[in-house]
A = this chain, B = another copy of it.
Amino acid sequence: GGRPTISSEDGMYAMSIGLAFHEDIGGFMGMSPRRGESKGDYEGLTENARRLRIPISFRYKNWIANITPDFGSSNADGSATLYEANLNYAGFHNTVITAGYFQPRVTEEDSESSNEFEMMERPAITDIVRNIAAGDARMSVGALHYGKRWWIAGYLTGQSYGKRAAGYDSQTGGTFRVAGRPYVSKDIDVHVGVSAISAFKVAQATASDDRSATFAEQPEVDLTTTKLLSATVGNVGSIWSAGPELGFRWKRLVLKGEYYNIGVTRGNNSSGSAAEQGTVNFTGYYGAANYTIFGKPRSYNIKEGAFAAPGVDHAFDPAHGYWGALEVSARYSVTDLNSNLNSANAIRGGQQTVWSAGLNWYPNRHFRFMLDFNHFIVSDDNKASSGSTSLYDIMGRHGNSVAGRIQAAF
């Protein structure tokens, strides 16, 4: 597969070092704030170290230890952290049992490798759902199993790496995903699935017993630290989310769509005001279309239960007429963090719609260049003026972004 590996002659030992290198350059246009609003961190031209991961893997027989330092971060450009550090037992057929800091996969979009995404970022709803109890470097214990026609996995999860010190009581949660392929042919892949995730108990971050949870996202481009879409829910009991996955490939065309509902139940916190009662519901969905113009089209990866990137048979070599692979994508995505709007316990996180389009060029199987255009509309969040965050979005904001990515994957 191209990842540098050294092995012992008897095959008992193997060690490999890889790379997931994603650097973004781009900026925002048309982001002038309205009267009374702050502009926020929307620069015309800036950069971000999105992912700079060095996956290191040690295998002894069927036991595998993975550790992946990460020098990128989602949107604040640069700190050293960890993407994963886990132990695995792969002694059962098509099964991996895992314990440690891990990314348990939920939703079809999150099940794809970030090296193979259609667009630079996941839809906002996918990121919000996976961050409930999964995401990068989540302490997890569980297993996955896959076959030619189906994929299933479940994990019990705790806190993410480095987040424990903040808590008076750690989170416990879990994930579950099952996916299948009801119809497969040379030209057609049909994918159906369902993902579910829950924080059974949310971390307690302060000495007070009022446990809160924040749901927030950038406008599907991680070149800003300002999140227009943001809801904080207090007095949280548990959080759950579930929804269906649909995917369809016909020759060079891939269509995908997912819908998720999020529910937040409330705790029994005596300091909870009337505004902190009542179940909260958020929703989101997206639809995406992708077409491979030249090169090997997207295919289905049974180990991930998800679609994989186009392939390159002959590396870029114009003299011989080889141009690698090129694909074009479009996506429509909606995330609604408003709940109970007409009642005393309204949550006004705003609603974000993103139209996006992108081009990806693969000169060879290890390098990729991406170019994404996003147009986003965020409804006003009408939050109390006390929070400075709300100053970004009093009347509703919309804007555009253009971003490019250079990528290497080994």
Contacts and interface: CB of A to CB of B under 8 A. Distances in A.
Given A46-B164, A63-B363, 8 more contacts: A4-B13, A21-B100, A23-B101, A54-B56, A78-B81, A78-B82, A87-B408, A165-B225
Contact of A170 (B23, B43, B100): B43
Given A13-B2, A47-B158, A225-B165, A71 B63 contact: no
A85 B67 contact: no
A76 B164 contact: yes
Please state the number of chain copies in the assembly: 3
A162 interface: yes
A256 B73 CA distance: 42
A30 interface: no
A44 B168 CA distance: 10
A37 interface: no
Nearest to A88: B408
A367 interface: yes
Contacts of A87: 21, 23, 367, 406, 408
A31 interface: no
A333 B71 CA distance: 36
A164 B363 contact: no
A79 interface: yes
A85 B52 contact: yes
A43 B77 contact: no
A351 B98 CA distance: 40
A81 B46 CA distance: 20
A257 B13 CA distance: 38
In this complex, which of A78, A161, A172, A207 has the most chain B Cβ atoms within 10 angstroms of its Cβ? A78
23 contacts: A2-B13, A19-B67, A23-B99, A41-B168, A48-B164, A49-B82, A49-B101, A52-B67, A52-B82, A60-B315, A60-B365, A60-B366, A61-B364, A65-B366, A65-B410, A71-B82, A71-B85, A76-B165, A77-B159, A77-B163, A80-B82, A87-B367, A165-B225
B167 A43 contact: yes
A25 interface: yes
A78 B46 contact: no
Given A21-B87, A170-B46, A61 B165 contact: no
A25 B169 contact: no
A164 B364 contact: no
Contact of A77 (B69, B78, B100, B161): B161
